[in-house]
Chains A and B, each alone.
Chain A
Amino acid sequence: DTAVSQTPKYLVTQMGNDKSIKCEQNLGHDTMYWYKQDSKKFLKIMFSYNNKELIINETVPNRFSPKSPDKAHLNLHINSLELGDSAVYFCASSQRSGSTIDTQYFGPGTRLTVL
């Protein structure tokens, strides 16, 4: 069974469109994250949720809106897509929130291409 899954794996869309990426984890973890990997492969945190509560919101444009219907799911909705949003988006999960002694497990990533 896949521990952290994301859909879709590839997303190609036009500027100005709205799109969503879904993430699910079956590890029983309380905390989920979204990371963005840019064209230079640099990885940076965007958001984290602990048991449906927003914990981290890292200076991300408000066109990005995460939603966590339950602690096993964390979705990322992006409005009015821009060329600069093209990147790979990773979902991750960990047992606890705010812990420096916990391991994060990553999904397969979603490659978003904005034309």
Chain B
Amino acid sequence: AQTVTQSQPEMSVQEAETVTLSCTYDTSESDYYLFWYKQPPSRQMILVIRQEAYKQQNATENRFSVNFQKAAKSFSLKISDSQLGDAAMYFCACPSGNTGKLIFGQGTTLQVKP
């Protein structure tokens, strides 16, 4: 069965510092996207960044970037210059099979300290 694993239930970072959230996944697909979603206390699921698996270049969106290691099936999220508004739960997700449904990791709660 397809799985997505986030091994860090909680992380903490000082404001303006950098933090990396880990994610590993398992898929038999050859072409796929990977996603990081942010869920603040408002509970809205917000797309942070996505990575196209066939692209070797790591995706970047402003202060957010990924470290994508396809062979290792690893997809970590780096947040630079952390801000108080980055405090949230972060979910890694991978699509499954030919249905397109997303398989989510368990989530990592990020605390940002002022």
Chain A partners chain B: yes
Say how far A25's CB is from chain B's closest CB, in angstroms: 14
Contact A48 B99 (CB under 8 A): yes
A98 touches B (CB below 8 Å)? yes
Report the minimal beta-carbon distance from A11 to chain B, rounded to whole angstroms: 14
Point out the residues of chain A lying under 8 angstroms from B43, CB to CB: 88, 108-109, 111
**A105: nearest chain-B partner, CB-CB:** B47
- Residue numbers in A under 8 Å from B42 (CB-CB): 108
Q: In the complex, what residues of A have CB within 8 A of residue B101's CB?
A: 33, 45, 48, 56, 58
With A48-B100, A100-B95, A103-B35 in contact, is A90–B106 under 8 Å at CB?
no
A42 touches B33 (CB 8 A): no
Give A28 Cβ to nearest chain B Cβ, in Å.
Answer: 17
Contact with A along B77-114 (1 / 0, CB 8 A): 00000000000010100011111111010110000000
- Assembled-state Cα–Cα distance A56/B96 (Å): 12
Q: Name the B residues within 8 Å of A33 (CB-CB).
A: 101
Report how far A100 CA is from B29 CA in the complex, Å.
8
Report, as a range, how many residues of chain B touch the other chain: 20 to 34
Q: A98-B98, A101-B52, A111-B43 are in contact. Are A44 and B32 (CB under 8 A)?
A: no
B104 touches A98 (CB 8 A): no
- Chain A contact residues (Cβ within 8 angstroms of B): what range? 20 to 34
Asked whether B44 is an interface residue with its Cβ less than 8 Å from the other chain, the reply is: yes
Q: How far is the CA of A106 from the CA of B38 in the complex (A)?
A: 11
Quick check: is A102 within 8 A (CB to CB) of the other chain? Answer: yes
Contacts of B52 in A (CB 8 A): 101
Complex-state Cα separation, A31 to B98, whole angstroms:
13
Q: Does B104 lie within 8 Å of A43, measured CB to CB?
A: yes
Q: Measured between alpha carbons, how far is A48 from B96 in the docked complex, in Å? A: 13
Which of B45, B50, B95, B97 has the largest count of A CB atoms less than 10 A from its CB?
Answer: B45
- List B contacts of A42 (CB < 8 A): 104, 106-107
